[in-house]
Chain A
Amino acid sequence: QKEVEQNSGPLSVPEGAIASLNCTYSDRGSQSFFWYRQYSGKSPELIMSIYSNGDKEDGRFTAQLNKASQYVSLLIRDSQPSDSATYLCAVLSYGNNRLAFGKGNQVVVIP
């Protein structure tokens, strides 16, 4: 079982729509959860962090965490072409104190 799983298929959304990304993790003891955005050939950039159950909003981004179900999601509202990138889910497991990444979701926003 992978530590962090993301549906790896590309997600195409029209400009202005909501992009929804999901991520599940295996370590029930995980406490910190992150979403990174990576443009092609560039460095991963942290866009959201979430530590407790519920929603956390930052601008057009909303992260949702459900520890009981072991999933974390990212919503991108009013998607813009500049949001076209790969989004990486990362989970910090305090068991081994490592940041584990999913394979990423490619998002393509169509003008």
Chain B
Amino acid sequence: EAGVTQFPSHSVIEKGQTVTLRCDPISGHDNLYWYRRVMGKEIKFLLHFVKESKQDESGMPNNRFLAERTGGTYSTLKVQPAELEDSGVYFCASSQVAFGELFFGEGSRLTVL
């Protein structure tokens, strides 16, 4: 069974540009989460989807971040326009039960120059 996959693994962009990160959860997992780890800090919650609905997006830092999960399958996280402080590793996770065992992807490392 395929795990959680994320793309791209690493993205380098300039300040002001747009980046879209993609996450494919484990098949059948209704719950999908985005987390972010900024260098030197702990992994922080961004948002939680149940199927295609946003259950909790209170962790999103500001309106430059937009997450979608059309059809309740894969999810995208768009950062537009990117700022220097957006650099970090963005993790996606999925679970069958809300906040049951979370399965993480390997993360998408974003570097904003």
Which single residue of chain A is at the shortest CB-CB distance from B43? A101
Could you tell me if B45 and A98 are in contact, using CB atoms closer than 8 angstroms? yes
Count the B residues whose beta carbon is within 8 Å of the partner chain — how many? 24
Which single residue of chain B is at the shortest CB-CB distance from A88? B43
Q: How far is the CB of B59 from chain A (nearest CB, A)?
A: 7
Q: How far is the CB of B94 from chain A (nearest CB, A)?
A: 11
Q: Which residues between 86 and 113 of chain B lie within 8 Å of chain A, taking CB atoms?
A: 91, 98-99, 101-107
Bound-state CA distance A70–B15 (Å) is 42
Which one of A4, A92, A101, A102 lies within 8 Å of B99 (CB-CB)? A92
Q: Which of A12-20, A36-44, A59-67, A73-81 contacts B (4 or more CB under 8 A)?
A: A36-44
CB contacts (< 8 Å) of B106 on chain A: these are 41-43
Count the A residues whose beta carbon is within 8 Å of the partner chain — how many? 22
Q: How far is the CB of B28 from chain A (nearest CB, A)?
A: 18
CB contacts (< 8 Å) of A98 on chain B: these are 45, 48, 56, 59
| A interface residue numbers (CB < 8 A to B) | 2, 4, 32, 36, 41-46, 49, 88, 92, 96-104
